[in-house]
Amino acid sequence: MPILPSEPDLFPLDLLSQPIAENPSDVKWWAFYTMARREKELIRRLRGMEIPFYAPMVSKRTRSPGGRTRESFLPLFTSYVFGRGTNEERQRALTTNCISRCLEVPDVQQLVHDLRQIHRLIALDAPLTIEARIEPGRRVCVRSGPMAGLEGRVVQRRGKDWLVVAVEFLGQGASVLLEDFQVEPL
């Protein structure tokens, strides 16, 4: 039983499938760096203001001292919420008092590509490991199975290969255990 039910981490639901504007002069992507532990409050307020955002959330299960299983939903990228909008919408978002810093995304194409991959990986409900810093490694593409088409880097930990899907803008990502026959070099 979840402590609190999962909330939408994407608004509108088709945000990541929308085409990227050719003329980004009026609509931009922003990385909102939140005050400590205020990501969920920010996404509630952004949803109320109808400002588009994506804040990838992952499920985490723990046991209480009494032995009950608890499920909570935590941000994949601690303190980051990605927003899209005009400068006016950015200014409205700053009025939430949840944002510490606001970073304009220089390479929107790359960010949206990375966020689409993260969204797809979370939707697979595969056991993810949060990767705070991406280690250098070989770039690969998954060629078969439910992760077919995902691109990332392979890292080796404890004698096993892991696929790291990264948001290059942050230098952070998530990893999933990978069988080497599933990938091909890029």
pLDDT (average), residues 114-142: 82
- The answer on pLDDT for 184 being more than 90 is no
What tokens appear for 131 in the block?
A: 């990767």
pLDDT (average), residues 41-60: 95
Which CATH number applies to 129-185: 2.30.30.30, 1.10.10.10, 3.40.50.1860, 3.10.105.10?
Answer: 2.30.30.30
Q: How confident is the model at residue 133 (pLDDT cuts 50, 70, 90)?
A: low
Separation between Cα atoms, residue 57 and residue 9, nearest integer Å:
6
Instruction: Please check whether the two domains, 10-105 and 129-185, share a CATH topology.
Output: no
Compute CA 39 distance to the chain's CA centroid, rounded to the nearest angstrom.
12
- The answer on pLDDT for 98 being more than 60 is yes
Q: Which CATH superfamily is domain 10-105 in?
A: NusG, N-terminal domain (3.30.70.940)
Q: How confident is the model at residue 88 (pLDDT cuts 50, 70, 90)?
A: very high
pLDDT (average), residues 7-30: 86
Query: DSSP state, 25?
Result: T
Side chain identity, residue 101: R
Task: Give the per-residue pLDDT at 45.
Answer: 97
Residue 115: beta bridge partners?
A: none
Q: Tell me the three state secondary structure of residue 1.
A: coil
- The answer on pLDDT for 103 being more than 90 is yes
Task: Give the per-residue pLDDT at 125.
Answer: 85
pTM value is 0.83
The domain ranges of the chain are 10-105, 129-185
